[in-house]
Amino acid sequence: MAGQPGTRSGRRERLAQRAAKPKFNPCPPGQIGGAYKPLTEAEIQRIYGAALDLLERLGMGEVPERLHADLLAIGAKDDGFGRVLLSPALVEKAVDQAARTFVLHGRDESRSIEVGGNRVHFGTGGAAVQTLDLDSGHYRPSTLEDLHDFTRLQDVLTNVSWFTRCCVATDVPDRFDLDANTVYALLKNTTRPTATSFTLAEHLEPIVQMPDIAAGGPGEFAKRPFMKAHISPVVSPMRFGEDAVDVVYECIKHNIPISCITAAQAGATAPATLAGFLAQSLAETRASLVMVHAIQPGFPTVFSNWPLVSDLRTGAFSGGSGEAAVLNAASAQLSNWLGLPSGVACSMTDAKAIDAQHGMEKGITSLAAALAGGNLIYESSGMTASLLGVSFEAFVLDDEMHSHTYRALRGVEVNEETLGIDAIRDAVLGEGHFLGGRHTFAAMERDTSTRRLLIGTSRASGLNGARMTPGHGHVFGRGRFYAIITLPT
């Protein structure tokens, strides 16, 4: 049979076009949320009022001495029974002067993200103590090597916008060594924005030299900080924690942006009722904000009101429930309503295996938080087993999930081209289908999420090649992992 070269080559061309790698990502991180509003305006007002009331009449207990002085200096009152009361005027002033948006820098500036508004970013969090071993398929204690590997892995995943250490290196018993080696693992293996935590305030001064080295010398890191700190200065219900408050002071001194995380547990350290939970945790997170305001007004802070849920029948922490979904969505809505950069914790699961329960619980909780406009969605990648475990496979699967969530967030653009009335008329009056038409191809290239069930090869993106001053490594040399941070000379 004689071929029809024109047609066949047209078909070949179309097939090649379809098989080609997409030219760009149609639904990158930072999509806009907020179309889901779990609370009505009246409900927000009532929860907001209850939170103000709690701060004014009950206030905060166990206020460390330095913070006590700083709070009283800006107008807080001591009730004479060991509690510091914060008036509505003071709380609202702190909110008014808070940073509305700020840039979370990557060491590679092209990977920086802006936090605030209704922009949604998924990132990590967590302090898993067990790693799902890739070879054995069983959980075993997490190691420093795991942390390096997880950091390298996420560096090549599209939808992790920042990396907080996801596991604790349980083979590093010394707390300073742990803090130091955690920071090193982040610096060595990713150029994304990072986050860590500091056990004690005195760890900061020596450890911050490390990012200074990466940034080009002493004091350079503070000019463009590419690492933030996760701190929980409030111990629910309604008290401060001294060690964490000290870390806040030290972070502000070194210009390290902070996430002030309120991690109350419904039914244990906060009311089991969702409204009561939100009122108390909103009060507590606002107390953190007043604390920051007392130290340095407007200091970049993620308003991290993380509702955590306990299974009231067993007492176990439950990260993957319908309650977790709606509570975190409501928390994001409240924070965004206040105009503050919001942080919530979602995409958690109580499943131990990487199974249907894993996908389902992560799917519903992460979509709820994202649709509500959570700015930074923590714990969103890799975590398993009610945050006790972390898994390499889960990181990859969760990254795929985030791309679907971002596609859903991107929503429906309505304009003349997307309505495509002419394309509909052509199909109806012509061939009776839309396959292979111009309008269809344009949409494929522009709008359609792509499946990426295979991950790219992990690549090194560490300190190699960054501007560094040799010889600064010695301050970290107290533990057996010193060797890891030997710097090139």
> Interface residues for a copy of itself in 100-159 (CB under 8 A)?
none
Report helix, strand or coil for 429.
helix
Q: What is the DSSP letter of 121?
A: E
Of these, 69, 89, 435, 460, which contacts a copy of itself (CB under 8 A)? 435
CB of 216 to a copy of itself, least distance (A): 41
The bridge status of strand 301-305 relative to strand 342-345 is parallel
- Angle between helix axes 322-337 and 356-371 (nearest 10 degrees) is 20
The beta strands (E) that lie in 215-338 are given as: 227-231, 234-235, 239-240, 258-262, 265-266, 301-305, 308-310, 317-318
* CA dist list (Å): 264 to 12, 43, 196: 59, 21, 20
Q: Which of 22, 51, 14 is nearest to 444 (CA)?
A: 22
Which positions from 341 to 380 touch a copy of itself by CB under 8 A, shown as an x/- string? -------------xxxxxxxxxxx-xxx--x---------
With contacts defined by CB under 8 A, name the span among 1-9, 108-116, 297-305, 320-328 that binds a copy of itself: 320-328
CB of 354 to a copy of itself, least distance (A): 5
- 264 exposure class (CB count in 10 Å sphere: 0-12, 13-18, 19+): buried
Of these, 451, 456, 457, 488, which contacts a copy of itself (CB under 8 A)? 451
The bridge status of strand 317-318 relative to strand 308-310 is antiparallel
The bridge status of strand 130-132 relative to strand 139-141 is antiparallel
CB of 323 to a copy of itself, least distance (A): 6
With contacts defined by CB under 8 A, name the span among 4-12, 95-103, 127-135, 398-406 that binds a copy of itself: 398-406
CB of 120 to a copy of itself, least distance (A): 13
Of these, 397, 463, 468, 485, which contacts a copy of itself (CB under 8 A)? 397
Show contacts with a copy of itself in window 52-71 (CB under 8 A). Answer: 53-54, 58, 61
Show contacts with a copy of itself in window 325-344 (CB under 8 A). Answer: 325-327, 329-330
With contacts defined by CB under 8 A, name the span among 37-45, 63-71, 221-229, 462-470 that binds a copy of itself: 37-45
CB of 48 to a copy of itself, least distance (A): 11
Q: What is the helix (H) or strand (E) element at residue 221, kind and residue range? A: helix 220-223
Show contacts with a copy of itself in window 7-26 (CB under 8 A). Answer: 18-19
Cis peptide before 237 (omega within 30 of 0): yes
Q: Please state, in angstroms and rounded to a whole number, the distance separating the CA atoms of residues 377 and 446.
A: 26
Of these, 85, 103, 427, 466, which contacts a copy of itself (CB under 8 A)? 427
Of these, 440, 466, 477, 482, which contacts a copy of itself (CB under 8 A)? 440
What are 110's two structure tokens? Answer: 């092209």
Q: Please state, in angstroms and rounded to a whole number, the distance separating the CA atoms of residues 477 and 471.
A: 12
Report helix, strand or coil for 242.
helix
CB of 425 to a copy of itself, least distance (A): 6
Should residue 433 be labelled a site residue for a copy of itself when binding is judged by CB under 8 A? yes
With contacts defined by CB under 8 A, name the span among 119-127, 286-294, 297-305, 421-429 that binds a copy of itself: 421-429
R_g of the chain, CA atoms, integer Å: 24
CB of 8 to a copy of itself, least distance (A): 18
Which positions from 189 to 218 touch a copy of itself by CB under 8 A, shown as an x/- string? ------------------------------
CB of 96 to a copy of itself, least distance (A): 25
CB of 356 to a copy of itself, least distance (A): 4
Write down the H helix ranges in 74-113.
Answer: 88-97
Show contacts with a copy of itself in window 221-280 (CB under 8 A). Answer: 237-239, 267-276, 278-280
